[in-house]
Amino acid sequence: MEYLQALFVKFLKIINFQILMRLSKLFQLLAICAFFILLFLEIYNILNFKNSIQKIQEKNAQSLITVVSNSIISTCEDSLYNEGNAQIHKYDKIDLSHILERGFSSFSQSPSIAYILIENKDSIIAISNHSRLNDLKKKGDFDTQSNWQNKSNIRYISFDNKDVLEVTKPMEIPNYPSMVMRLGYNTQIYKSEYNRVLSFTIFGTILALLITMAILVHFATNTTARTSNNPEIALHNSLRDLFNSITDGVILLDKSKIIKYMNKSASDIFEIDNLSTINKNYDQFFNYDYFNLENVLKDGSPSTEMNVRLQTPRGSSKYLSYTSNLIKFSFDKSEWILIVFRDISEQVKLQEQNELQEKKDAIEEIASSISDRIKNPLNAIYQIINQMEQSRNADLNATSLKILKDEIKQINDIIEHFLEFAKPINLNLQKVNLSEIFDELALSFSKIIDAKNIALHKDYPSYIPLQIDPELINQSLAILIQNAVDSIENKGDIILNIKIESDKVIIRITDNGIGMSKAEMSKIFSVDFSSNARANTLALAKVEQIVLLHNGTISVDSSEKAGTTFEIILPNNNII
């Protein structure tokens, strides 16, 4: 680990230049974003300008057809009256057409008007441009039905190879059937203005693109040249690749415990994305000072290699071997905390399994010896005592005999417990609902719990499918619940909790009984442990054995007079 620390010191000395390179890339990214924002705004302005022009065209066309319609109606009424035809009720198409065409002849010369046409339900009555009559007749399929209901219509059509906005308006001339005026409004002027603005916008966008590309090319070329010609950057990249390839985890923090660097191995061990930790506080990911950071900051002296059991941000339990050092740089007088660690969970698990096997071997040997040397003599003593009880010898005290008999039976029970623990366990895995096992246990303990005025709280889902040995798990949970009941003298609480996560099932049995000291906790699963306040710890050792055979873990957390929590974690390969 000392060699890694020396390499990391070199890595930190050149990290400032790398930060500048990243800022350069950030500026390039901002330039690209600015260009696309400008492009978006230009497109939005073009669309908005086009809509505005269209609204102005439609408003002007509607105003113009109103003026033309009123003028023509006024001209027709004057002409009919002057010619003495005001009383004629008979429809005269020829005379009316002449009058109408004369009425709008002055308007038809306006550059804004492409044509004026008046029609009724049957045919075209008058038109301003006879040369285009056939073309207009082809367009006579316009929805005129709405026009006879005093409504106006607007549409865009092609007339004389030009875009025209056609508006219609109902007309009423006294003593004549209802008519419709159709006016073609020339949009060429507006279209020319729109094309001018569009051309200017396209030119500005292309110019902005060229400027942005020039800036990006400049920075890219400059950055590449500086990187390729700078041996420090090449060394930085090599060290970065080295740190990401090693199996040891590496974390760099400043004195405020802000994470500045985490290599790939560290992120894999902690089951988090290393990039998500940068510039965030260590305490956001860990709720305990696992790496002794406070003492390192206080004393400034490097820590010796130590082992620690920690819980990752995702809840996994792991064992690590680590060193923590405070690094001081003379060139900028900065101070950093460097943590180098490796995952030793597999070694610890293997060691625990070896220790468990050693316990089993020792117990088998002890149990065999006890069984052979003590059990048979005890049976003989028991038979003799029975014979003495049946005799009439008054000197024998019946009470003493009964006590002696009970003590011998207790010794025999201990031997039976040792023999039971020493038996090899064969798992009979089945698909079961763990919640049902808890429900059955809660029911079986209900009388004892009620007698001691204990409140039992069940906190788990109704269905938890697991692949386990139901008989052995039931036996283990019953031992832990009995342990919780025995720890409460009178009136208390027991909580049965099951939590399901993506990779594990966590079982917790908590009581608020008398608790245990740290010394007692350290030997709680040992076969030689004994305490009057706790259940038979041979049984607890059996529970540990059963959990380990399920590829799980069991732990205990307790404080004197504050209660105890047993926690069993079964891995996800047991989840169905």
Read off the pLDDT of each residue in 402-418 and give the average, rounded to a whole number.
69
User: Is there a common fold for 12-222 and 246-343?
Assistant: yes
Q: Whole-number mean pLDDT of the chain?
A: 75
Distance from the Cα of residue 316 to its chain's centroid: 19
CA distance 99 to 103: 6
| % of the chain exceeding 70 in pLDDT | 63
**Distance between CA atoms of 162 and 190, rounded to whole angstroms?**
12
| Range name among 352-361, 468-477, 502-511 with the lowest pLDDT average | 352-361
**pLDDT band, very low/low/confident/very high, at 535 (cuts 50, 70, 90):** very low
**Would you say residue 151 has pLDDT above 70?**
no
Q: Which residue has the higher pLDDT, 85 or 440?
A: 440
Residue 350, token pair as written in the block: 């293997």
Mean pLDDT (whole number) for 141-153 = 50
CATH number of 246-343: 3.30.450.20
pLDDT value of position 530: 42
Q: Angle formed by the axes of helices 434-444 and 470-487, to 10°?
A: 40
pLDDT confidence of residue 407: 67
* pLDDT tens digits along 263-294: 888 888 888 887 778 888 888 887 778 888 88
Looking at residue 484, its pLDDT comes to 93
What is the pLDDT, as a whole number, of residue 335?
Answer: 82
Buried b (16+ CB within 10 A) or exposed e, 334-360: eebbbbbbbbbeeebeeeeeeebeebb
- Domain segments of the chain as ranges: 12-222, 246-343, 349-422, 430-574
| Environment class of 243 (CB within 10 Å of its CB; exposed 0-12, middle 13-18, buried 19+) | buried
Residue bearing the bigger pLDDT, 154 or 190? 154
Who wins on pLDDT, 479 or 311? 479
Q: Nearest 5°: phi and psi at 144?
A: -85, -10
CATH architecture of 430-574: 2-Layer Sandwich (3.30)
Would you state the pLDDT for residue 94?
42
Mean pLDDT within 136-144: 48
pLDDT at 90 over 50: no
Q: Contact 169/145 with Cβ under 8 angstroms?
A: no
pLDDT at 510: 95
- CB neighbours of 361 closer than 8 A, spacing ≥ 6? none
pLDDT of residue 400: 57
CA dist 257 → 252, 289, 337, 338, 340 (Å): 9, 11, 8, 11, 15
Superfamily designation of domain 12-222: PAS domain (3.30.450.20)
Summarize pLDDT for 449-501 with one digit per residue, the tens. 999 999 999 999 999 888 899 999 999 999 999 999 999 988 899 999 999 88
Contact between residue 340 and residue 253 where contact means Cβ atoms under 8 Å apart = no
Question: What is the C-alpha radius of gyration for the chain, rounded to an integer number of angstroms?
Answer: 48
Between 172 and 77, name the one with better pLDDT. Answer: 172
Determine the Cα–Cα distance for residues 193 and 196; give it in Å rounded to an integer.
5
- Residue 91 clears pLDDT 50, i.e. is over it: no
- DSSP-derived letter for residue 463 is -
140 versus 298: the higher-pLDDT residue is 298
Confidence (pLDDT) at 142: 44
Q: Which two tokens stand for residue 332?
A: 């900028």
pLDDT for 149 equals 47
d(CA 514, CA 376): 39
* pLDDT digits 0-9 by tens, 4-32: 555 555 555 545 445 555 555 666 677 67
Kind of pairing, strands 113-119 and 124-127? antiparallel
In terms of phi and psi (left: phi > 0; alpha: psi -120 to 50; beta: otherwise), the region of 303 is: beta
Q: Read off the pLDDT of residues 248-265 as tens digits, 9 standing for 90 and up.
A: 888 888 888 888 888 888
Least reliable range by pLDDT among 29-38, 49-58, 144-153, 156-165:
144-153
Left, alpha or beta for 133 (phi > 0: left; psi -120 to 50: alpha)?
alpha
Give one DSSP letter per residue of 117-184, joined into a string. Answer: EEE-SSSEEEES-GGGHHHHHHGGGS--GGGGGT--EEEEEEETTEEEEEEEEEE--TTS--EEEEEE
The pLDDT value recorded for residue 166 is 87
pLDDT band at 387 (very low <50, low <70, confident <90, very high): low
What is the number of residues in the chain? Answer: 576
* Each residue's pLDDT tens digit, 519-531: 888 878 876 544 4
**In this model, does residue 179 exceed pLDDT 80?**
yes
DSSP 309-321: EEE-TTS-EEEEE
Average pLDDT over residues 303-316: 78
Q: What is the pLDDT of residues 26-66, one digit of tens each?
A: 666 776 777 677 667 767 666 676 777 778 878 888 888 88
Residue 510 to residue 495: CA distance in whole angstroms = 5
Instruction: Tell me: pLDDT of 193 over 80.
Output: no
Least confidently predicted of 202-216, 311-325, 438-452, 553-567: 202-216
Q: Which residues of 280-292 are buried (b: 16+ CB within 10 A; e: fewer)?
A: eebeeebeeebbb
- By percentage, how much of the chain surpasses pLDDT 90? 14
Contacts of 133 (CB under 8 A, 6+ apart): 124, 127
What is the pLDDT at residue 182?
86
